[in-house]
Amino acid sequence: MDTLGPLPKTALTATCVAPILFTYSFIAAKSSMPFLSAVLLSSTLILGLICSLTLKLVEKKSYCENITITSFRPADKEISGYFVSYLIPLMGATSEFFTLATSLFFGALFFIFVWASKSFYTNPLLSIFGYKFYEISLSTGNTLLLITKKQLVNCSQIKKIAYATPYTVVESYKTQEK
């Protein structure tokens, strides 16, 4: 189902980790390193753009199917926990914490955690790009994580999905191929 291989999962994971770059950008600015701060901030935005483009590619190139949603609920409510748990403590870090080895270790550890736990819904960067996350239940009994730009108010709004990973989907507008 995930015809684009690891690309969507990698892009989704990277955007979950990207706010760490934003936080390090703040620390760099606070430590009088404006060039590094600008590079880190730009990297954050570039990762968001890459993931947004990857989601559009998923919608166009991945396996699509018509669906019937029986229920849904927002899945991005965990973002506040993300900030409290990971980013706010970093903001108070001193420049001693801001070493390449520590930064790489923290970023890699967080990347592995998100990759393994499939916690893509804790994705504040994609939320800034206008994406919303919903846990949807299908008439088949499956439960999936839906990424869409729509504000869902009823189950009939989503008719077709494309698979980014086996359990993460995006809304698809692709017409049936003949």
- What is the spatial distance between Cα 144 and Cα 6, in angstroms, rounded to a whole number? 18
Q: Which helix (H) or strand (E) holds 53?
A: helix 34-61
3-state secondary structure of 40: helix
Predicted TM-score (pTM) of the model is 0.80
Distance CA 97, CA 24 (A): 10
Q: Along the 178 residues of the chain, how does pLDDT read in single tens digits?
A: 556 678 888 888 888 888 888 888 888 888 888 998 999 999 999 998 999 999 999 988 888 899 999 999 988 665 556 555 666 666 666 666 667 787 788 778 878 887 787 777 677 788 888 899 899 999 999 999 999 999 999 999 999 999 998 888 999 887 654 3
